[in-house]
Copies of this chain bind each other. A is one copy, B any other.
Amino acid sequence: MYILKPFSFSKRFPETEVIGSAFAGNQDQVIPLSFGFPAPESLPADKMTAATEAAMLSQGRQALAYSGGTGPKHIINWIKERSRLREIEATENEIIVTSGSSQAIDLITRTLTDPGDEIWVEAPTFFGALKTFRLAETTLFSFPIDENGLRVDLVEQELNERVKNNLPLPKLMYVIPNYQNPGGVNLSVDRRKRLAELAYKYNFFIIEDDAYVELSFDETYLPAIYSFGPERVVYLSTFSKIIAPGLRLGWAIGLSAIIEKMRILKIDGLTSVYVQEVTKNLLEQMDMDEQISYLNTIYLSRKNAMVSAIKQYFGDEVSFHEPNGGFFLWLTFPPQIDTSEFLDTAMLAGVSYIAGKHFFLQNEGYNHMRLSFTFCKEDIIHEAIKRLANTYYEYVNSKQMIEEVN
């Protein structure tokens, strides 16, 4: 046998930091405010057996073959109908069902960019999308958000500058228009319109990631960016937040020429047709409006519990935009704070969160923190915020002591 030589991985792997903590203790004792988990009691475990039985009775073995039975077509129809509520009109060949919307982000990225191409993003934004864009070896550039979402005026200014200086324009702009992850804000209608116009004028595509649209606590819905520019927007959404993430079912809507290329790139075949058959029956057996209204009732109550606990334990030490929907609260601490510095001690104290820096491109956002309010019940949230505040003030005190010593 020959001696092993060193080998190298593809150059596509970025130097990514693992998101989380070095905490090696019992994870079961940690109250998870970190990841975007739905409320466990909302997952329709009691309906899965009946939905499976109905799928097998109506479709038989077709449901287990490569292309399934009638389920995948029904899922597409459901997506078409539901999209009308967002003022989106789409045909069957403008829709692709994906393994969660994460896969849709990956497919649209690799369909429309080559390494080195620019993708513009919000700052802060979803770290999973940043990871995908980096693995596609694209160049990233970010723009701040405010209470009305992405600062489209700054995007326009930069586009003008690029043209003036003969510099490359972006291929894609990634936006989360509703209950932005992590910011919790909604993009205003004026900005949606203007962004769509810019996409036509400067010939880039918008990835409109609309994972949270259904989770509106006051039942107000803005028209999708897609409705203002269907030829330059690819719209994404998912069943993860309204039925169950473990199914891995999401979708993308866009020009048929683009969806066709995404199907080619979707080398894993059709998204589990078995899951689609079962989900079709689940959709028939569940009252989706009731399910969504139920989700919003519990999520609003949990958000309120988190907001009042933060006011009680942090007072004026943190500021935040109070979101009217979605999963997350985005906290801003005083500028000298680095939230990644007390994550390990917070985990030891039994509470987790995600440090702000992970939502930015580089060396930014240290004084922010994302908390998810959907997974835990109100009293647990209260306890978690109390523990978090204790950890935080210990950190602040020790930081001050160190500074005084130095």
Taking beta carbons and an 8 Å cutoff, which residues of A are in contact with B? 1-5, 7, 9-13, 16, 35, 37-38, 40-41, 43-46, 48-49, 52-53, 55-56, 60-66, 68, 98-100, 102-103, 105-106, 110-114, 128, 131-132, 135, 197, 200-201, 203, 205, 231, 244-248, 258, 261, 264-265, 267-275, 277-278
Contact = CB atoms under 8 A, between A and B. Distances in A.
B40 A61 contact: yes
Given A52-B49, A100-B268, A269-B102, A66 B245 contact: yes
A248 B267 contact: no
Contact of A112 (B10, B37, B98): B10
A69 to B, nearest CB: 9
A278 to B, nearest CB: 8
27 contacts: A4-B200, A5-B203, A7-B205, A10-B112, A13-B265, A16-B264, A37-B66, A40-B61, A40-B62, A45-B60, A48-B52, A49-B49, A49-B52, A49-B53, A52-B52, A64-B245, A66-B246, A68-B246, A99-B269, A99-B272, A100-B269, A128-B267, A244-B274, A247-B272, A247-B274, A272-B275, A274-B275
A280 B397 CA distance: 50
B2 A110 contact: no
Number of copies: 2
A66 B40 CA distance: 11
A270 B246 CA distance: 8
Contact of A66 (B3, B35, B52, B200): B35
Given A4-B231, A48-B56, A49-B49, 12 more contacts: A1-B200, A2-B200, A10-B110, A10-B114, A37-B65, A41-B61, A49-B53, A63-B246, A64-B244, A65-B246, A100-B269, A135-B265
Chain A binding surface, main DSSP class: helix
Contacts of A245: 64-66, 269
A166 B115 CA distance: 28
A137 to B, nearest CB: 9
Given A110-B10, A110-B12, A267-B106, A272 B248 contact: yes
